[in-house]
Amino acid sequence: MPGLRVRAGTCVESLQDITELVNTGRALPLRCDRFEGEVAVYIKGFRDSRGQPSYSEYFQRPDRKGITWSVQVKGRFLQPHSANDVLLGNTFDRSLRLPWGSGLALQFAKFVDPALEHNLTSDTKPWALSPLVATVPHFMHVRADHVPGEQEEFPPRTSISDDTSQLSMASVSPAKGNRSEAQTRKDDHAAYRFRTPSERRKYFNKETNRKDLVFGPDDIITIDFCYGFLEFYPDIILRLPAGITFDLMKYWDKQPIRFVCGTRRRPSEGREEEDDEPTAEMFWCVEVVSADDDETVGEKGRDSEDVD
């Protein structure tokens, strides 16, 4: 297949080309009035727009065996947001050509991520989104006043691993006015100390548990959003258990493959309206596009700033 380009930013309209940063361990700074942080991208077998291969030791790590792509982000939300409203997933610009049997893939996705919501059959802007805290494989939280004076390198030289030991210090939003219950949970420093990512994800699959937690400017969150179901090279292929595969190159119309983090859109904010975005606000976005897609890469990229 042709080479790919990768772009990132805090909104779709102002993405920067970060192709040269993929697999290098270098991050792009992110800054807007909603979010402040950094993003780094790894893609197994990646070839840039000139067809040049790019490798990373990330995919050789024992704890990342089988992973084919990774979007790593470290940052903070500049206004308070309920953990139920901070969503992570994929959005698209136009309708998708879904292969026969795609329903099986969606069933598998729902099994892996019970909190997943989607409308991939939309005629306008398909989407599949989950609450970040319930879906991301690797999640690390630290309070800003507990961060060492010297900032740690990002992305780190070792794999990001779950750390929720300070999550009880985050703001707590009492569900249905039950302030005493919420405050008790906040005062219990062991409340959110999960032994494994699976425990954390299972706990936050419950909506009321997500609504109890609020992320704000004092919460530094680091994630590794990574999986091995989707391969980008040598072709774009979706691999499911039991040897089930989908050759997505037959259905891809070269529209961006977009990973986004944003806020949940309420019904009153117009999700029913066909032209509305799947999220109300966007914190950050990473998109993968074909290098020969002039409309997406050429025209759209002219107004973007170059990466230093």
Token pair 């942080």 is found at 37
Q: For residue 152, what are its two tokens?
A: 């740690």
Task: Decide if 176 is inside a domain.
Answer: no
Alpha-carbon gap, residue 304 to 296, rounded angstroms: 12
What digits encode the pLDDT tens for the residues 180-213?
444 544 555 567 889 999 999 999 999 999 999 9
pLDDT at 3: 82
Q: Is residue 173 part of a domain?
A: no
Order of strands, sheet of 219-227, starting from the edge strand that comes earlier in the sequence: 28-31, 35-43, 69-77, 219-227, 138-143
Task: Give the lowest-confidence range in 16-25, 126-135, 230-239.
Answer: 230-239
What integer best gives the mean pLDDT of the chain? 85
* Residue environment code for 177-200, b if the CB has 16+ CB neighbours within 10 A, otherwise e: eeeeebeebbeeeebbebeeeeeb
Tokens encoding 235:
């072709």
54 found inside a domain: yes
* CB-CB contact of 182 with 40 (8 Å): no
Residue 289, Cβ density class (10 Å: 0-12 exposed, 13-18 middle, ≥19 buried):
buried
Q: How many angstroms separate the CA atoms of 160 and 137, rounded? A: 10
pLDDT for res 72: 99
Q: Is 118 a domain residue?
A: yes
Across 242-249, average pLDDT: 77
* 36 has pLDDT over 90: yes
Residue 295 pLDDT > 50: no
Q: Answer whether residue 258 is part of any domain.
A: yes
> How many domains does the chain divide into?
1
Q: Does residue 112 belong to any structural domain of this protein?
A: yes
> What is the pLDDT at residue 193?
86
Residue owning tokens 């920067």: 16
Tens of pLDDT, residue by residue over 67-114, are: 999 999 999 999 999 999 999 999 999 888 887 777 888 888 888 899
The boundaries of the domain holding residue 73 are: 4-163+216-301
- What is the per-residue pLDDT for 302? 40
Beta-sheet strand order (sheet of 230-231): 230-231, 237-240, 244-247
Mean pLDDT of 282-292: 93
In a domain, 201, yes or no: no
Instruction: List pLDDT tens digits, range 205-218.
Output: 999 999 999 999 99
